[in-house]
Amino acid sequence: MDYPALLVGSIPLATAEDVFRLIGPTLGRYLPALPDGETGARRWWVARLHQQVFNHHPDIDVLQRPLASELETAQLTRRGRGRPWQFRIRQGVKQLTFPKGLGYVAAATDSYAVFCRLRAEGVIPAGVRFQVSLPLPNSAASPAVIQIEDIARFREALRIALRDEALAIAAAIPHEDLAIQWDGSWEITDVYEAVPGLRAEGAMERNVSQVRELSRSLPAAVMVGYHLCFGTFGGWPRLSPTDLGRAVNYANRILAETGRTVDWMHIPTLDRSDPHFYAPLAHLEPQGARIYLGLIHNMASFSTRLAIARRYLPEFGVAAYCGFGRIDPALVPGLIADHLTAIEALAAPTT
């Protein structure tokens, strides 16, 4: 079934149960899968790994810590990120590994238990899957926090660790109930040649190569999706490209080289109404994946942007540009209303 909408992941509520009780009855029937909101420290996205994993790893040196006043999530919502973490691999370490894991398995199994209970109560519609969102390795180890000479070793260690976390989650949750989404933000920035310290040459390949083994071993019954993002840390968007060309090229490479069926691909958009920005969508090659465009923002221009995107890609679903984890929780009901408006507009006959 081609579900009309996708929730990228994070929602700024206190618990997974709060998220399921809010989203299940309102948007649940429109979604392929329901995320747990990435509550708690996961709302920091990869910054959680910096503080909870890298910071305590015996083979990683901490070169710089945020100021004590910047350790709360507020540092991620304003323009500018303050003083970021900085790490390097400790001298003499031949191979970096994460034997204690990254923490995603426990979070997924805890939330899934709540998911099952609320589904049995009828809060969550039958048929909707449980969605687990994981960062792509190159986002988890961005040059913003890793010394550039160590970046390749960090990324390889995280690729293995994230693959193992995904496999462990699939072993713990029934396959027909599970959807795993890979989130890529620094990847998009890199393919647009906008990451300080990384050479433009080879940008596409280093961001495609990481996906080739992440999902290949997952059971076929587990749904797999991707969320690409222009970045929200310090304010959205962190990256404002002139068009969707490189995002489309990267999406095509992911879809071709993941090594298994990809069930959905999310591509962000900006608040732009010029056809030039959307024209590259004509070159998208979905290969059976459901495409979701991140059009749900500034609803005053939504209908215009929807119509323009349809000129180049007639069939797609809708989503926000990113998750909501770092916004004011008071805005969440309005965002749900925006999704319902977008879903209605998507279903309306075109003229």
Q: Is the dihedral of CA 208, 160, 180, 178 positive or negative?
A: positive
The pLDDT value recorded for residue 47 is 87
> Which own/partner pairs from 340-345 qualify as long-range (CB within 8 Å, at least 24 positions apart)?
340/26, 340/27, 341/299, 341/302, 342/5, 342/295, 342/296, 342/299, 342/302, 342/306, 342/318, 343/4, 343/5, 343/30, 343/318, 345/302, 345/303, 345/306
End-to-end CA distance of the chain: 24
The pLDDT value recorded for residue 287 is 95
> Domains, the chain, ranges and CATH?
5-347 (3.20.20.210)
Residue 56 burial class via C-beta count within 10 angstroms: exposed 0-12, middle 13-18, buried 19 and up: exposed
The pLDDT value recorded for residue 79 is 38
**Tens digit of each residue's pLDDT (9 = 90 or more) over 222-244:** 999 999 998 776 667 677 789 99
The pLDDT value recorded for residue 240 is 76
In the chain, the largest separation of any two C-alpha atoms, in whole Å, equals: 66
Which residue numbers in the chain have pLDDT < 70?
A: 1, 67-82, 233-235, 237, 351
Q: Give the length of the chain.
A: 351
pTM equals 0.94
The pLDDT value recorded for residue 144 is 82
Which are the contacts of 56, defined by CB distance < 8 A and separation ≥ 6? none
Share of the chain above pLDDT 70, in %: 93
Phi, psi of 23 (to 5 degrees): -85, -35
Amino acid at residue number 171? A
Contact 154, 96 (CB under 8 A): yes
